[in-house]
């Protein structure tokens, strides 16, 4: 029947659930949205993706009169799947939002990860799960990893033992999944966990079919592995994987089409007489290719210089819409995220601008130039936050994990650290005049304008303002292929507790293991080597695993 291919979605309007919709549609289902309490009562399969903060979610559900109907549905014995905050809300309460009561279905409280353990918080990225028993939901997962992004978590206890279906390790054990009867929930994002996540969603939507498909796949795998006995599968150590991110710099070319481009030290024009913008492919197709080839995330940076207003930037929004139908790992978009005024004089807040991107399929926005202004204003106020910046406003509404800061620094050598007000490091690569020290100057507008602010100081400021992650480029190393600036990545990752993505300069798989060994980077990003097919993402992953660095294979 047609209704058996329908999922009811409880989207209470606090954030982006487009990727959940896309994943459900990909599995051949139609979606019916909950508008009223009656829609909950008549649902036959309910998916509840939590977005935003705990307190905000409970407030909206209460205002809409949905709390009791939701509890009734959960108690009705019909299939229910909570995702991320949708798992946490099943518990009795959370310390998020200054302490807040939940639905009280699963015993226990949700608490914040302990930042004193030295692990980056939020917990972002691909991690393993350890099931406590067999289930149609998780049996296909095995050693494969799923994608997490959260700062709070529930912990297993004697009181919730019968609920806990799987746990994950991150500075201790937390609840990865709960289940009892038809009620299930997962802390990770199946809709962002690639093929593994789609399989989990199918395990929820069609348990019998999923179990049969996994049995068939297992039988096929064991028969083919016995025939090629010499094939040894790469094996990665367990735990949070170091992420490998593919980045697409997108720009209008001189004909006005959006193309993927790539510069050397931020110069994206060909070296010859024509000086045309380098064209390395179509954004959506390339993003889909990287998803299929195993990228852990995909980032789009819109570097179109003459872009006047993102709200009118329909081509970029269309790129996101189409990419999010084909890419089931996290998507980041950057370029022009800030409060702005369009050509007709209408103003938009940074939250409105970001919202447009989230609605179109972005999971995170990346802020470059505006973050430098914000950090300078923050220091000018005596290192105080006043709620005025895009970083604070977007992270308050969408959560800090949705706010990435892209830094475009350039190395500056100094002979005497006391001669500059910035944090310097003693460098192993002295400057042209034999200078022994350096700092990294923040720039805006794609490196065209330098500011009196160091990358380390910027990182500290944006963390204090509520950023969730740092994308650390390096203009000197961009496109050069000689490796990441290890001293820069080390200095910035030591200065903050949020995850740092190393970027600029990757030329071979060894550069990735190098940056993960030498620094606290949580992820590494590359562009040119992937665009030009010089290095396959899979080979980077295999190299990391062979070097005993956790990677998602
Ligand atoms: O300032 O908020 O509008 O954001 C603009 C964004 O565009 C920033 O994130 C900035 O980094 C980026 N951007 C601006 N101009 C350029 C340019 O190239 N002319 N690209 C640019 C940044 C750098 C990396 C690159 C890595 C890896 N590209 O993203 O992908 O360096 O490259 P590699 O592996 O080939 O070495 P705003």
Q: What is the CATH number of the domain that holds 317?
A: 3.20.20.70
CA of 199 to the centre of ligand 1 (A): 34
305 membership: H or E segment, kind and range? none
Of the candidates 220, 235, 256, which is a domain's last residue? 220
260 in the same domain as 129:
no
Indicate whether 342 belongs to any domain.
yes
> In angstroms, rounded to a whole number, what is the distance separating the alpha carbons of residues 86 and 9?
12
Indicate whether 225 belongs to any domain.
no
Does the pLDDT value for residue 14 go beyond 80?
A: no
Does the pLDDT value for residue 3 go beyond 70?
A: no
Out of 9-23, 53-67, 145-159, 402-416, pick the least confident: 9-23
Higher pLDDT, 220 or 61: 61
309 in the same domain as 165:
no
If one counts every other C-beta atom within 10 angstroms of the C-beta of residue 115, the result is 13
Higher pLDDT, 194 or 217: 194
For 450-470, the pLDDT digits (tens) are: 999 999 999 999 999 999 999
216 in the same domain as 270:
no
User: What do you get for the CA distance between the two ends of the chain, in Å?
Assistant: 38
314 in the same domain as 176:
no
Predicted pLDDT at 311: 66
Q: Mean pLDDT across the stretch 189-205? A: 96
CA of 9 to the centre of ligand 1 (A): 37
295 in the same domain as 168:
no
CA of 433 to the centre of ligand 1 (A): 29
What domain count does the chain have?
2
Structural domain boundaries, residue 191? 3-220
Q: Mean pLDDT across the stretch 98-107? A: 94
Residue ranges at the known binding site: 84, 336, 473
Position 2 confidence tier, pLDDT thresholds 50, 70, 90 = very low
249 in the same domain as 184:
no
Pairing of strands 243-252, 164-169: unpaired
Out of 67-76, 124-133, 242-251, 339-348, pick the least confident: 339-348
247 in the same domain as 212:
no
127 in the same domain as 60:
yes
448 in the same domain as 375:
yes
Ligand 1 pocket mutation, candidates 252, 367, 368, criterion most atoms within 8 A of CB: 368
Q: Mean pLDDT across the stretch 199-206? A: 96
Maximum CA extent, the chain: 77
| Nearest CA residue ID for atom 15, ligand 1 | 446
The reply to whether 408 belongs to the active site is yes
Q: Mean pLDDT across the stretch 193-207? A: 96
Indicate whether 226 belongs to any domain.
no
- Given the residues 11, 39, 96, 191, select the one marked as catalytic: 191
Predicted pLDDT at 229: 42
For 359-390, the pLDDT digits (tens) are: 899 999 999 999 999 999 999 999 999 999 99
Ligand 1 pocket mutation, candidates 290, 303, 362, 485, criterion most atoms within 8 A of CB: 303
Query: What are the structure tokens assigned to 378, written together?
Result: 């923050």
Are 44 and 3 contacting, i.e. CB atoms less than 8 angstroms apart?
yes
Does the pLDDT value for residue 154 go beyond 60?
A: yes
Ligand 1 pocket mutation, candidates 333, 394, 446, criterion most atoms within 8 A of CB: 446
Predicted pLDDT at 231: 43
Pairing of strands 183-186, 80-84: parallel
Are 261 and 303 contacting, i.e. CB atoms less than 8 angstroms apart?
yes
349 in the same domain as 396:
yes
Position 230 confidence tier, pLDDT thresholds 50, 70, 90 = very low
pTM of the model: 0.94
Is residue 268 lining ligand 1, measured as CB closer than 6 Å? yes
Residue ranges at the known binding site for L-glutamine: 84
**What is the average pLDDT value for the chain, to the nearest integer?**
93
Indicate whether 228 belongs to any domain.
no
Q: Helix (H, G, I), strand (E, B), or coil: what is residue 332? A: strand
Does the pLDDT value for residue 310 go beyond 70?
A: no
Of the candidates 167, 188, 220, which is a domain's last residue? 220
Residue in the structure block whose two tokens are 């004697």? 158
Q: Helix (H, G, I), strand (E, B), or coil: what is residue 439? A: strand
Does the pLDDT value for residue 211 go beyond 70?
A: yes
Of the candidates 220, 251, 283, which is a domain's last residue? 220
Are 495 and 530 contacting, i.e. CB atoms less than 8 angstroms apart?
no
The reply to whether 511 belongs to the active site is no
Q: Which atom of ligand 1 is nearest to the CA of 471?
A: 9
The reply to whether 191 belongs to the active site is yes
Are 369 and 340 contacting, i.e. CB atoms less than 8 angstroms apart?
no
Out of 51-55, 300-304, 476-480, pick the least confident: 51-55
Predicted pLDDT at 306: 47
If one counts every other C-beta atom within 10 angstroms of the C-beta of residue 446, the result is 21
Out of 194-198, 200-204, 218-222, 466-470, pick the least confident: 218-222
For 489-533, the pLDDT digits (tens) are: 999 999 999 999 999 999 999 999 999 999 999 999 999 999 999
For 421-435, the pLDDT digits (tens) are: 999 999 999 999 999
Q: Mean pLDDT across the stretch 264-278? A: 87
Query: What are the structure tokens assigned to 51, written together?
Result: 């977005």
The reply to whether 531 belongs to the active site is no
Q: Which atom of ligand 1 is nearest to the CA of 531?
A: 35
Predicted pLDDT at 1: 40
Predicted pLDDT at 41: 95
Position 309 confidence tier, pLDDT thresholds 50, 70, 90 = low
CB environment 333-369: b (16+ within 10 A), e (fewer): bbbbbbbbeeeeeeebebbebbbbbbebbbbbbbbbb
Indicate whether 102 belongs to any domain.
yes
Indicate whether 486 belongs to any domain.
yes
Indicate whether 499 belongs to any domain.
yes
- Given the residues 408, 463, 478, 490, select the one marked as catalytic: 408
Q: Domain containing 48 — which CATH number?
A: 3.40.50.880
Q: For a pLDDT cut of 70, what percent of the chain falls above it?
A: 96
Sign of the CA dihedral 264, 270, 273, 276? negative
247 in the same domain as 115:
no
Indicate whether 453 belongs to any domain.
yes
221 alpha carbon, distance to own chain's centre: 31
Position 480 confidence tier, pLDDT thresholds 50, 70, 90 = very high
For the chain, the C-alpha Rg in angstroms (whole number) is: 24
Predicted pLDDT at 399: 85
163 in the same domain as 211:
yes
CA of 446 to the centre of ligand 1 (A): 7
> In angstroms, rounded to a whole number, what is the distance separating the alpha carbons of residues 23 and 332?
17
Query: What are the structure tokens assigned to 288, written together?
Result: 């889909």
Tally of helices (H runs) and strands (E runs) in the chain: 17, 29
For 169-184, the pLDDT digits (tens) are: 999 999 999 999 999 9
CA of 265 to the centre of ligand 1 (A): 9
- Given the residues 249, 296, 469, 487, select the one marked as catalytic: 249
């Amino acid at each position: 029947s047609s209704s058996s291919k329908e999922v009811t979605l409880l989207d209470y309007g606090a954030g982006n659930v487009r990727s959940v919709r896309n994943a459900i549609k990909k599995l051949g289902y139609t979606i019916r949205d909950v508008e009223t309490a009656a829609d909950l009562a008549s649902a036959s399969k309910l998916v509840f993706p939590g977005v935003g903060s705990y307190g905000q979610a409970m407030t909206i559900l209460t205002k809409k009169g949905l709390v009791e109907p939701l509890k009734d549905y959960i108690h009705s014995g019909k299939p229910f799947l909570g995702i991320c905050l949708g798992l946490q809300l099943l518990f009795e309460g959370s310390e998020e939002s200054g302490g807040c009561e939940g639905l009280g279905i699963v015993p226990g409280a949700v608490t914040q990860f302990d930042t004193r353990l030295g692990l980056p918080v939020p917990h972002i990225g691909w991690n393993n799960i350890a099931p406590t028993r067999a289930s149609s939901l998780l049996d296909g997962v095995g050693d494969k990893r799923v994608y997490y992004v959260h700062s709070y978590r529930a912990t297993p206890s004697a009181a919730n033992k019968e609920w806990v279906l799987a746990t994950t390790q991150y500075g201790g054990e937390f609840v990865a999944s709960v289940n009892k009867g038809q009620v299930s929930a997962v802390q990770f994002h199946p809709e962002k966990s690639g093929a593994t996540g789609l399989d989990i969603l199918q395990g929820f939507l069609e348990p019998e079919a999923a179990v049969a498909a996994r049995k068939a796949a297992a039988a096929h795998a064991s028969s083919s592995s016995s025939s090629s006995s010499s094939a040894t599968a790469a094996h990665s150590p367990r735990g949070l994987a170091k992420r490998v991110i593919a980045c697409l710099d997108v720009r209008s070319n001189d004909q006005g089409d959006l193309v993927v481009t790539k510069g050397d030290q931020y110069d994206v024009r060909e070296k010859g007489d024509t000086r045309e913008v380098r064209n390395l492919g179509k954004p959506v197709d390339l993003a889909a290719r990287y998803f299929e080839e195993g990228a852990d995330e995909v980032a789009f940076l819109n570097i179109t210089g003459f872009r006047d207003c993102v709200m009118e930037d329909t081509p970029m929004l269309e790129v996101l819409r189409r990419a999010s139908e084909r890419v089931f790992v996290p998507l980041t978009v950057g370029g022009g995220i800030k409060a702005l005024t369009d050509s007709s004089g209408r103003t938009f807040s940074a939250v409105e601008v970001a919202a447009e991107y989230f609605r179109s399929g972005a999971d995170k926005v990346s802020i470059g130039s505006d973050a430098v202004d914000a950090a300078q204003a923050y220091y000018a106020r005596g290192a105080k936050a006043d709620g005025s910046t895009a970083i604070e406003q977007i992270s308050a509404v969408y959560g800090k994990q949705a706010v990435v800061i892209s830094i475009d620094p350039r190395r500056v050598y100094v002979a005497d650290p006391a001669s500059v007000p910035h944090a310097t490091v003693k460098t192993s690569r002295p400057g042209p005049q034999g200078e022994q020290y350096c700092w990294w100057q923040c720039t805006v507008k794609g490196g065209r304008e330098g500011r009196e602010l160091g990358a380390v100081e910027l990182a500290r400021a944006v963390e204090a303002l509520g950023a969730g992650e740092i994308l650390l480029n390096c203009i000197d190393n961009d496109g050069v292929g000689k490796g990441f600036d290890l001293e820069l990545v080390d200095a910035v990752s030591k200065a903050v507790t949020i995850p740092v993505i190393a970027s600029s300069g990757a030329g071979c798989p060894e550069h990735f293991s190098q940056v993960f060994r030498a620094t606290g980077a949580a992820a590494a990003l590359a562009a040119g080597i992937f665009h030009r097919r010089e290095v396959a993402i899979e080979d980077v992953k295999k190299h990391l695993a062979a070097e005993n660095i956790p990677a998602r294979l």
